[in-house]
Amino acid sequence: MTADQRPAAPLVQDMLTLPRRAEDGGRVNLIGLTRPQLRAALIEAGTPEGQAKMREAQVWQWLYHWGVRDFAAMSNLSKDYRALLARHFDIRLPEVVSRQLSADGTRKYLLRIAGGHEVEAVYIPEESRGTLCISSQVGCTLTCSFCHTGTQKLVRNLTAGEIVGQVMVARDDLGEWPVPGAPKNETRLISNVVLMGMGEPLYNFDNVRDAMRVVMDGEGLSLSRRRITLSTSGVVPEIARTAEEIGCLLAVSFHATTDAVRDRLVPINKRWNIDTLLGALRDYPRLSNSERITFEYVMLKGINDSDEDARRLVRLIRGIPAKINLIPFNEWPGAPYERSDWARIEAFADIIFKAGYASPIRTPRGEDIMAACGQLKSATERARKSRAEIAAETGGAR
């Protein structure tokens, strides 16, 4: 069964669980509600049950196909119904605080969300596609020692609306909403979405899943599940759920070929080690009906970049349909590592390639604006984890 054929989640009746804010007069934000949640919300606001399915379809199309932000513009709804919507609901997106443009065309957005917190999203244009890298949390509870986000405290999980909202504000900025009457634009500026920004998506599973259901819906933003890649540091219990409930492509932050080194680089390895992680990954392609898993591997000079590492990596992943993405380490102020030399990265890539795996080296993008992988960290959330906190989270040894 593919993700598209799965039965819809049960109708959510409990409106109290929907995001409301006192400063908005208690109005519920429609952005990020799944279809069943949207329908339930419309019924609770007074839509007759017999009309709810049609209203859900209409409102959904205005929000996600046309990108409309004002109920008054929903021209196929009666004036009274538009007024009812405006009384009960909002259409609220993260606020763009700043947008930085790199010399290579990469755009980094600093976005403000409820509570005054900030997250980043990055748009990376390439010749044949455009990828939007989005965040799932403000900060991260994990403490991968090479990652800038890992030095920032977890402030909170993003809501589904804040995750979907990142895609919508990037579409606004790129001018990518359809224009009524104009010919359909076949080339999509945002053709791919990667959950590789701030945070560990599988520690915010429900919101990430709901957000991706909105993003994948064919009547709206309409990105296929094969154009969405979720990157995890290895939260093993949630990997099968990702296959079953989202069905997108999976990337895993592998980064080391022995438990001793991985414990240091990706401390979640102390909880679920390489062997346990590989076990979960072996089942993923079948469960998700997807193709290859991407193994992300950050190249750190003298730490994980030897020929022996490359050979061990190939042995470890044998039997898993895989692509290995080599990421030259992106430096940040105070980082405890250096990027491997280019010749070393190429020698490593060569061993993997000869073993039969695609081994693209990820070109660092947007380095001049600190937009590359692992460099995201919001300037306002300055609180750095204390050594004691890091030790507590990683079980002591670092």
**What residues are annotated to the active site?**
120, 373
Q: Are residues 142 and 267 in contact, defined by beta-carbon separation less than 8 angstroms?
A: yes
196 near ligand SAH, rule: CB under 6 A: yes
149 near ligand SF4, rule: CB under 6 A: yes
200 near ligand SF4, rule: CB under 6 A: yes
374 near ligand SAH, rule: CB under 6 A: yes
Cα–Cα distance measured from residue 138 to residue 117, given in angstroms and rounded to the nearest whole number: 7
263 near ligand SF4, rule: CB under 6 A: no
47 near ligand SF4, rule: CB under 6 A: no
Answer for which of 200, 238, 263, 381 binds ligand SAH (CB under 6 A) is 200
| CB closer to ligand SF4 out of 18 and 327 | 327
Answer for which of 140, 230, 251, 345 binds ligand SF4 (CB under 6 A) is 140
370 near ligand SF4, rule: CB under 6 A: no
121 near ligand SF4, rule: CB under 6 A: no
202 near ligand SF4, rule: CB under 6 A: no
Residues 134-153 contacting ligand SAH, CB under 6 A: 144, 146-147
| CB closer to ligand SAH out of 253 and 269 | 253
Contact code string over 251-270 relative to ligand SAH, x by CB under 6 A = --x-----------------
138-146, 180-188, 208-216, 242-250 -> range binding ligand SF4 (CB under 6 A)? 138-146
Let me know how long the chain is: 398
Given the rule CB under 6 A, which residues bind ligand SAH?
144, 146-147, 196, 200, 231-233, 253, 296, 298, 327, 329-330, 373-374
**Could you list the residues that contact ligand SF4 (CB under 6 A)?**
140, 142-144, 147, 149-150, 199-200, 233, 253
